Structure 1
Amino acid sequence: MRAGAYPAFALTAFQSRLAYRNQVWASAFGELVISFAFIAIWTAAFAGQVVVDGATLPEMITYVMIAGLLYWNTDRLINDVGEAVRTGDITIFLLKPLSYPASLLATHFGHYVFDQLVVTLPVLLIVGFSVGLLPPASLFHALMALPFWALSWLMLFTLGALCGLLAFWLLTAFALEWFLKGIMALASGAIVPLWFMPGWLSGILGYLPFAWVSYYPTAIYLGKLDPPATFLYFGIGLAWLAALGGFLAWLWSRARHRLIVQGG
């Protein structure tokens, strides 16, 4: 019975977004402007050169579109947790036979599906028809890009939820989203691929969980990793997800204890 309740959270979140059509149009337009801005920057950076550090301009345009759009905005997730802590609504979940992290997962999966269908897909179609996007490097890379995509979202959700739960100790989520954005801007490869970074820096960032959010799914799509390396990094990503998921469960158990103590 508990498991059957979580799809309702996802469906409710999806349907709630339909009520704010103007906000949807504004988000799609803003995403489109940002996408063309990044395309213009990379076109200027290549300055007519065919290949730069082993990457072509069409590859970089495809990379910046996929990597940037994979980096789902976690502001809503972090602020939802912060607001629940601030108002005390978080106590409701202590009275329900439901897991608060699991309900967050379901709710924000609904938001994510809505964003992908209503914002991301139209932007990709417009850019694809106007500028052009590369297809997957091979059938293998196309098939492997799908589990990496799922891993990407789960990794980003877990990182966002961990930041959100810090509100139990800070008593506010203010600036937590900026903290995560700052790290992700550099470490996820959403803006600059790791192959353009100094060897020592890319070597470090390539083994941190942030790289599985944008860099590895896009690198797989473009064929930058061969099959053995693809399976290796997928396994490492799963290990990171399991470790972060365990840490999230532990942090929630500590947050619940802290909430009960504060509430008397």
Structure 2
Amino acid sequence: MSDNLLMRPASWRVSGLIPATELSYPGRIVGRCVMIGIQISLYYWLWKALYTAGGSESAQTVTYSALAVLLSRVRWTARSYSRESIPARIREGTIAYWFVRPLEARQYYLIRGVGEIALGGSIALLGFLVCLAVGIVRPPDSAAAGVLSLIGIAVGQIILYYLGLLLDLVCFWMVTNDSMKHIYAFAQDLLSGALLPLWLFPSWLNGLASVLPFKAAIYSPLSLYVGREPVASSGYLFAVQFFWCAVLAVCARVLWRRASFRIMVQGG
């Protein structure tokens, strides 16, 4: 029954939950855009100061850093404020309602997440167009690199979706995940290459990033875009991305199932 509900257009109204919440508070969206603009500007001035001679290396690094900031902030939305998030529902003791609806909890979370990514992706796309217009971001080296990087970016958002889901599901055992959110945010920014391009990392830290999913989510598609990785290597990069999607999807499925057995509905 739940699979049929997932296919009904009415069920996808849930995807508008987070966009409607955010658009109700335009100050939050404006503040987020200002923060992203400041971050990109700081990276631009930093790399321009370090690469005084300019050249392709400077343009490559500036482009990468700007795009990395935009991608890493796609899922900066109202989850921390909304009462309809897993942490908030568990704190209030109302998470049981997610498991008695006709639409399964995991499907409800998925549809809501689609709306979240759509909103964040729209802001990132607007930021990309502005950066492209003012010359901070350069176009991809080739049409093939642009198309392949776009596919990689989409798959990377699936990886980040599953990582965020696993972080939320931890609340079923820990009640709150506030401390873990801070650790996760730092780990994601560092090991995905959002703080610094991974080609600037020491070999041991780059090796650590290679065995974790963060690199596949952001660095891999952007390295194709800026030409750091050749188009010929895209097959391997996509294989790594799909591997992590499969692993994280299985883990999420198992945790959803185990979480459902920890819910007590009316004392049952």
Query: Normalised by the size of structure 1, how large is the TM-score?
Result: 0.89
Distance 1:215 1:262, change over 3 A: farther
Match of 2:196 in 1: 192
Quote the Cα distance in structure 1 between the aligned partners of 2:223 and 2:11: 33
Matched residue, 2:257: 253
Mind listing any 5+ residue stretches in structure 2 that lack a counterpart?
A: none
Evaluate the alpha carbon distance shift between residue 263 and residue 171 of structure 1 in structure 2; reply closer, same or farther with a 3 A threshold: farther
Of 167-176 and 71-80, the range deviating more from structure 2: 71-80
Q: CA deviation at 1:262?
A: 11
Q: Is the 8 A contact 2:140 2:225 kept in 1?
A: yes
Alignment identity in percent? 24
CA distance in 2, matches of 1:225, 1:131: 22
3-state SS, counterpart of residue 56 of structure 1: helix
Root-mean-square deviation over aligned CA pairs: 2.2
Name the amino acid aligned to 2:40.
S
Query: Helix, strand or coil for the counterpart of 1:259?
Result: coil
Change (3 A) 1:259 1:143: same
Tell me the amino acid that sits aligned with residue 156 of structure 1. L
Counterpart for residue 120 of structure 2: 115
Structure 2 distance, partners of 1:75, 1:114, is 8
Please list, as runs of the form range in 1=range in 2, the aligned pairs for 1:142-161 lying within 5 A after superposition.
Answer: 142-161=146-165
Partner of residue 13 from structure 2, selected from 8, 30, 48: 8
- How far has the Cα of 1:261 moved from its partner? 9.2
Q: Which amino acid aligns with 2:236?
A: L
Distance 1:139 1:130, change over 3 A: closer
69-78 vs 5-14, greater mean Cα deviation? 69-78
* 1:144 Cα deviation from its structure 2 partner: 0.7
User: For residues 104 and 230 of structure 2, what CA distance do their matches in structure 1 show?
Assistant: 39
Determine if the alignment matches structure 1 residue 223 to structure 2 residue 262. Answer: no
1:56 aligns with 57
Deviation track 1:154-208 (CA, whole Å, cap 9, x = no partner) reads 1111001101111111111322321211211221111111111122321331232
Q: How many residues align?
A: 259
**Alpha-carbon offset, residue 131 of structure 1:** 3.8
**Do the aligned partners of 1:164 and 1:176 also contact (CA within 8 Å) in 2?**
no
Aligned counterparts of 1:257 and 1:70: Cα–Cα separation in 2: 35
The AA in structure 2 aligned to 1:135 is P
User: Which of 88, 93, 96 is the aligned partner of 2:93?
Assistant: 88
Tell me: CA distance 1:6–1:229, structure 2 relative to 1, closer, same or farther (3 Å): farther
Structure 1, unaligned runs of 5 or more: none
Q: How big is each residue's C-alpha offset from its partner over 1:7-59, in whole Å with a ceiling of 9 and x where there is no partner?
A: 2111333333322222222221221112111222222232x1446xxx61111
Q: Name 1:98's counterpart in structure 2.
A: 103
Q: Find the counterpart in structure 2 of residue 43 from structure 1.
A: 48
Deviations 1:133-153 (A, max 9, x none): 211111111111122111111
Equivalent position of 2:248 in the other structure: 244
2:62 maps to amino acid: I
Q: Which whole-Å CA distance do the structure 1 matches of 2:109 and 2:250 have between them?
A: 16
- Residue 161 of structure 1 aligns to which amino acid in structure 2? L
SS for the counterpart of 2:264 is helix
Distance 2:178 2:207 in 1: 32
What is the SS of the residue equivalent to 1:260? coil
> Counterparts of 1:245 and 1:74 in 2: how far apart (Å)?
21
Structure 1 pair 77/244, CA: closer, same or farther in 2 (3 Å)?
farther
Q: Which moved more, 1:239-248 or 1:167-176?
A: 167-176
Question: 1:70–1:152: 8 Å Cα contact kept in structure 2?
Answer: no
1:211 aligns with 2:215: yes
